[in-house]
Chains A and B, each alone.
Chain A
Amino acid sequence: MTALRIAVGFKVTPDYEALRPADWARAATGPSAHGEAVRYVRRVFNVFDEAALELALRLRDARTERGLETSLVAFSVAGREADPFLATLQALGYEGARVEPDADLDFAPATTAALVAAATRHLGGEVLLLGSRCGPGDTGLVPFLAAEALGRPSLPGVTAVEPAADRLRVTFSAGDQPLRATIAPPCVLAVGNALVSLLRVPTLKDRLATRDRVVTTLTPADLGVDVPAALSREPSALVGLETIDRSRAGVVVAGASPAEEARALYEEHLHARLERI
């Protein structure tokens, strides 16, 4: 295979586990309230995007071992909250770019996909890796809509990517069925439940070496995307939010030791139920 450029689109999301039930009740009062409720929560990589970023690094490493030229670019459709994450990615060897959407795209998969496709054309990337799903919309549509906009085929649920002669060997999943295939770029790979899920940590030396590197900032106009027009054509519109009541009795089982607690749990709650199974 000749030189290969790999693009990875990623998103930083609020750490939803840091929110309390009261925060979610407030978020459910309306689409705009959702953004307000999560605005001050710390940001983390979307888990599927983090796996995609590490898979791309491993693919680069494997190709480099074989003497194959590979370049990496990571981009996010996001505000400045993505900058610290882009700095980390630059220290790991990625070029970094950010597309400033100037609009709330939390529930706008088609507009997001249009920007992702346009950014991929602008920045280059025969292989585009994206996380399978990303909150808060969680539709899983962005990789497929981006593939459609780019005129590329795509694979779902990707869990591993390896070099194979002049192509790529991809492990993926369609439903519950694990599959493996040899593919030829250009393509879009939607990364799913990869075991490689944590991004490596850059060394201090790498951080210092890249600290002055500038993140490329793009506007939708730079990419030829009219965001208000795209938003007006979104294939679905969020009109309301509801909380989910999962509450149960929550009876605390008391005991002076784990053995006593286990005994009380068995006698008061489990014995009769297990008898019926």
Chain B
Amino acid sequence: MAGETPRIALVLDATGAAAERHAQALGGFLRDGLRFSPEHPADAVTHLFYAEESARERLLALAPTRLVRLVRAPPHRPDLMAAALAAFAAGGGAELFVFGGPLGAESAARLAARSGGGVLTGVLDAVAAAGALSCRRHVSSHHLIGRFELRARPWCVTLDAGWLDAGFEPPAEHVVQASTELREDDSSAPRLCDDVEVFEPPATSDLEAAQFLVVAGRGAGGRAGVERIATAADRMGAAFGVTRPVVMNAWAAPDRQIGVSGTRAAPAVCIVAGSSGAPAFLWGVERAGFIVAVDTDEHSAMAGEADAVVLDDAVTVLEALADIVARERL
């Protein structure tokens, strides 16, 4: 297919939370993460799924491409989204679907299964060449990066969470190509939920914006140790996060978690106290300007991946450091 131009559809699920960030991820990926060989100008259209008519204009303004197809759909129905997109693909509408939004993985999987296409999640970057889409993504719990090829079309991909921070300005004007509505009974699949309830607002984490971050790991030794490190962080004016084992032991709340299944932070200074440095955690702090590891294990992965290392008890060192910082910052 050298020289052929795959038609690109960005799929923005704006029926749930964080539509703006997912729109930015799609736009950033289209701008920086997707290449074609030979080069050609990408002509992409955004399929914008939204639930409330009152939100339509606000969400339309987020669309990362000038061309937009608006689809009003009930929330939490990736099966309906997949059915609509499968019909679009079958009609020759697009050969590459890039999904953004909380239901992206399920929609991508169901679309690929229904249309016989290729699918990959968590894509870091992609190159379309010689009839295949070549993508990279993390594998083996973030220990390695795998290179994958998708041959059967349509190619359906979701993006690595790192793209959420891509930063992207949407076009000033949009052209709505089509506007449709999906109804609950449009799909033959059984209806799953009748009373979906948002029981707390989506977390707007202070961890993402923190410039000074302290993270406690299992080396804190228990809930008391974690709380002492949290107190030290507070005295230093730092945000406080924890690793997954700390959350799993119920020593801290889940919204404090840093890493692949928590928050990805980008502080100027990050102090990691008592963590072995599992790759899934490191992904959450690797963009920090300066990393300090405090732990008794000089052979830990964390020690090898920090700018400065203190080989001592994490709780004691953090409390001593808090004394100094609190005094100096008065």
Contact = CB atoms under 8 A, between A and B. Distances in A.
- The B contact surface, by secondary structure, is mixed
A271 B212 CA distance: 12
Contacts of B117: 235
Interface string A229-267: 000010111111111101111111101001101110110
A100 B110 CA distance: 26
Contacts of A24: 140, 143-144
Interface stretch (A3-11, A140-148, A207-215): A140-148
A171 B195 CA distance: 12
B217 to A, nearest CB: 12
Contacts of B106: 144, 147, 154, 156
B102 A236 contact: no
Most buried by A among B121, B193, B291: B193
Nearest to A148: B113
A248 B139 contact: no
Given A198-B248, A235-B118, A274-B212, A151 B282 contact: no
Given A156-B106, A269-B308, A138 B114 contact: no
Most buried by B among A28, A34, A148, A186: A148
Given A247-B305, A251-B309, A277 B196 contact: no
A250 B122 CA distance: 30
Interface stretch (B26-34, B39-47, B170-178, B312-320): B312-320
B192 A183 contact: yes
Given A270-B269, A271-B328, A177 B140 contact: no
Interface stretch (A58-66, A72-80, A187-195): A187-195
A174 interface: yes
B311 to A, nearest CB: 6
B55 interface: no
B254 interface: yes
Given A240-B146, A266-B325, 14 more contacts: A135-B141, A147-B106, A154-B192, A179-B198, A236-B120, A237-B149, A239-B134, A251-B308, A251-B309, A252-B311, A262-B324, A265-B317, A269-B290, A271-B328
21 contacts: A24-B143, A34-B140, A140-B121, A144-B106, A152-B189, A153-B191, A236-B150, A238-B147, A239-B134, A239-B148, A246-B282, A250-B308, A251-B307, A252-B309, A253-B309, A258-B317, A265-B308, A270-B269, A270-B292, A273-B289, A277-B212
